[in-house]
Amino acid sequence: MVSLASPTQWQQRAEKYLLAGNYIQAASLYEEAITREPEIKSYYWYLGLILLLQGQEVEAQTTWFMAIMSGESEEVEAWNIELVQILQTEAERREGLEEYAIAEKIRQNIKEFFPQDIHNLLRLLQLAIKLEIYTGENLQQLGIIKILQSEPIVEVNLELLLESLKIVVNYAPAHPSTIQFVEACLPYCKDNTQALLTTLLPVSLEIGYSQKQFSVAVQLCELYLTINPNNTEVIGHLASFYQNYGQYEKGIEIAKTFFSLVQDLSDKVFASRQILRGLMTAGGHWEESCSVHHSHGFLVKMLIEENPQELDVAKIARLFNANFFTPYIEDNPINSRNIQNLLMQFCQASIAKCEQESVNRYFQGNLARKKHIKNTKKLNIGYLSHCLRSHSVGWLARWLFQYHDREKFQINGYFINTNPVCDPLHEWYLTKVDKIYKSNEYLQLAEEIYQDEIDILIDLDSITLDTTCCIIALKPAPIQVTWLGWDASGIPAVDYFIADPYVLPDSAQEYYREKIWRLPQTYIGVDGFEVSVPTVRRDQLNIPDDAIVYFCGQRGFKRHPEITRLQLRIIKEVPNSYLLIKGISDEESLKIFFEELAEAESVDPARFRFMPIVFSESIHRANLSIADVVLDTYPYNGATTTLETLWMCIPMVTKVGEQFAARNSYTMMVNAGITEGIAWSDEEYVEWGIRLGKDETLRQQIAWKLKQSRKTSPLWNGKQFTREMENAYTQMWQKYIQD
């Protein structure tokens, strides 16, 4: 029997039973209380709640409605509010306990009483995502968008609204209702655009750069700009998203707008780089690209001289790849490496200033660890990259992972911006490392590398990703090495750059900050490539069976007009020859580019053919067999494409330069055992191209040599290459502990 003389004690007992999940005892107390004091409505509210928690939803609603039916309209309204407050409190408690299914059930019942309660609806939205029952239609079904769009606008907690927005955009960015939701939220953020920026921009960057959903990232940025049209941070990224989406002209236009809006010198450098990126990626804008590159160089030099001291990490990070396009435009490593080294020195010093505590701790910790190292220890090797997936670096690095000696080396993988669900090659890499760590945050990755006590950290990205550069600049590992991706970065925290006897001239150490570590034969070795059935035939491209097909397949920013002129001179001199063109760029710009050069060189544009893009690597390689001769680009050669050409036993012509990017094909051809097609001047390039086109016997001899090279060449021996890399690691380590 309930003692109504001590209500506090009774309430405490009831609450205790409820919190403990002893619903039978709690219900018994409330039923007795209703019998004694039927006029107190809160007893009904709690009894109904207990029935709901027991799964008796119909009984719960009956209990509430029977209590409500006896009141006048004003009383009913007050009782509804009182009931909902009790349900709200319990729903929040369950959410705190991560009992989302129970919380969702309670909130659905709140919705029955107040279907327009936007805050409850937003909580239901979040719960649907947490319970993984969200379909994208929930926004419409709950009526959230309609309520937000109503006039006058409803009162809503901005923090809750933005939290919901962030969760929805992250969970279902591509669903049409997501963009509608964002648009409906905009009027509520007009007086607090920074809060919306803080919510929307990180999501946009994740969607655009990591998930590659460029169209969604574009829409999100465009929507934000409707309420804050001159936000340069958003405009700068929007330029990239448009360029990545293939809308090159729009991307260039926005990059130029970005440049006009910013005043800070570091922002000017970044904006200039965004313009150059758009022009180069589109291809065909070479005159303007060279002009922008020239002025861009002045801006970079001004930045180095000015040496600003108050840059935040975001601004520093985007300066790391400011000179990315230089080797595509000119082959002048003495000058370009000097500027690159100075820029990287500035960037590293700036990062160190922002993250001084981490830098000092890593330095002191690694120094202290060095004193206790034993010569016989198993070396702990870390590989850091965003490219260990279906990417050129991913295809080439896999043999090193395949053949590593696990008795002597612990192998850790530090993966950035990777999505294993969609990428079998990335899944493969996950099976080839002893420890996996994934993050997009440079501080988290650096700390993990340091805590794992990595002895030698291998950077496979160089300046192709700012996150990697930030990590390397902090120097979490005592020895840091750059290999494979792009060229050496010039970051002072890098100790070694992996090369070979050919890919850099003997004098290169004079202008490289890193110590050049030359492997004895080749800086890359693979066992070969998977090849499927070709999908392209000559007749499909209207090419005669007896024609000579020259092939050049590179991205737009590798098609320098000077090397393209030489290619046109070759086909001009070889009767019945065609130039087959492939590469990601703006199709219209590319055609105009070739037509204008053809007119200047008196070549009939009818001799051009454009090969369709295929997204299967093995089919791409199979389709190379359509070519008789491959014509390499300069000043930036092919790398993966060169290896694939040689594996397919196709003769090629390359021009050798001074910089790393201009000597890739040279070292690969030499290591494959052929010198035919290696040119040291423009004249030789044209001569080799003509000779290979006219001399079928020579082509057959080269093809035979390349086929034989598969049996003996260091280029096609991944296991031997791995042993040479491991020897390099061991020697680096011995040198470190002995110094």
pLDDT above 90 (res 180): yes
Secondary structure (3-state) at 214: helix
Q: Which pLDDT band, with edges at 50, 70 and 90, does 590 fall under?
A: confident
Q: What is the pLDDT of residue 3?
A: 47
Mean pLDDT along residues 120-135: 95
Q: Give the bridge partners for 437, in sequence order.
A: 414
Q: What is the pLDDT of residue 332?
A: 97
Q: What is the pLDDT of residue 411?
A: 98
pLDDT digits (tens, 9 = 90+) for 293-336: 999 999 999 999 999 998 999 999 999 999 999 999 999 999 99
Mean pLDDT along residues 142-158: 93
pLDDT above 70 (res 214): yes
Mean pLDDT along residues 219-246: 94
- In SS3 terms, 600-624 reads as HCCCCHHHEEECCCCCCHHHHHHHH
Q: Which pLDDT band, with edges at 50, 70 and 90, does 418 fall under?
A: low
- Which residues, in sequence order, are CB contacts of 91 under 8 Å at separation 6+? 103, 106, 107, 110, 123
The model carries a pTM of: 0.87
The Cα 390–Cα 617 span in angstroms is: 8
Q: What is the pLDDT of residue 1?
A: 41
pLDDT digits (tens, 9 = 90+) for 21-80: 888 888 888 888 888 888 888 888 888 889 999 999 999 899 889 888 877 878 888 888
Q: What is the pLDDT of residue 557?
A: 83
**Are the beta carbons of 48 and 64 closer than 8 angstroms?**
yes
pLDDT above 90 (res 206): no
pLDDT above 90 (res 349): yes
Share of residues in the chain with pLDDT > 70 (%): 98
The Cα 561–Cα 567 span in angstroms is: 10
Least Cα distance to 550 among 690, 682, 341 occurs for 690
CATH of domain 539-716: 3.40.50.2000
pLDDT above 70 (res 707): yes
pLDDT digits (tens, 9 = 90+) for 472-483: 999 999 999 999
pLDDT above 60 (res 6): no
Instruction: Give one DSSP letter per residue of 262-308, joined into a string.
Output: --SHHHHHHHHHHHHHHHHHH-S-HHHHHHHHHHHHHHHHHHHHH--
Q: Which pLDDT band, with edges at 50, 70 and 90, does 548 fall under?
A: very high
- In SS3 terms, 552-607 reads as EECCHHHCCHHHHHHHHHHHHHCCCEEEEEECCCCHHHHHHHHHHHHHHCCCCHHH
Q: What is the pLDDT of residue 11?
A: 73
φ and ψ at 250, to 5 degrees? -65, -40
Q: What is the pLDDT of residue 48?
A: 87
Share of residues in the chain with pLDDT > 90 (%): 76
Domain chopping of the chain, boundaries: 1-114, 355-518, 539-716
The first and second tokens of residue 649, run together, are 């036993």
Least Cα distance to 329 among 297, 300, 305 occurs for 297
**Are the beta carbons of 157 and 184 closer than 8 angstroms?**
no
pLDDT above 90 (res 599): yes
The Cα 192–Cα 492 span in angstroms is: 41
**Are the beta carbons of 726 and 409 closer than 8 angstroms?**
yes
The Cα 112–Cα 108 span in angstroms is: 7
Mean pLDDT along residues 170-186: 92
Q: To which H or E segment does residue 534 belong? A: none
pLDDT above 60 (res 364): yes
Dihedral sign computed on CA atoms, order 360, 363, 366, 367: negative
CATH of domain 355-518: 3.40.50.11380
- Which residues, in sequence order, are CB contacts of 623 under 8 Å at separation 6+? 534, 535, 536, 611, 614
Largest CA distance in the chain: 111
pLDDT above 80 (res 210): no
Q: Does the fold of domain 539-716 match that of domain 1-114?
A: no
* Higher-pLDDT residue of 25, 629: 629
pLDDT above 70 (res 8): no
**Are the beta carbons of 665 and 638 closer than 8 angstroms?**
yes
Give the chain's mean pLDDT: 93
Mean pLDDT along residues 82-111: 94
Cα dihedral 641→644→649→651 (10° resolution): 10
CATH architecture assignment, domain 1-114: Alpha Horseshoe (1.25)
Least Cα distance to 181 among 170, 194, 195, 192 occurs for 170
Secondary structure (3-state) at 497: strand
Secondary structure (3-state) at 35: helix
Dihedral sign computed on CA atoms, order 341, 346, 351, 352: positive
- Across 48-62, 414-428, 656-670, the highest mean pLDDT is recorded for 656-670
pLDDT above 70 (res 544): yes
pLDDT above 90 (res 9): no
Poorest-pLDDT segment among 1-10, 416-425, 587-596: 1-10
Q: What is the pLDDT of residue 2?
A: 44
Q: What is the pLDDT of residue 587?
A: 75
Q: How many CB atoms lie within 10 A of CB 413?
A: 22
pLDDT digits (tens, 9 = 90+) for 447-468: 999 999 999 999 999 999 999 9
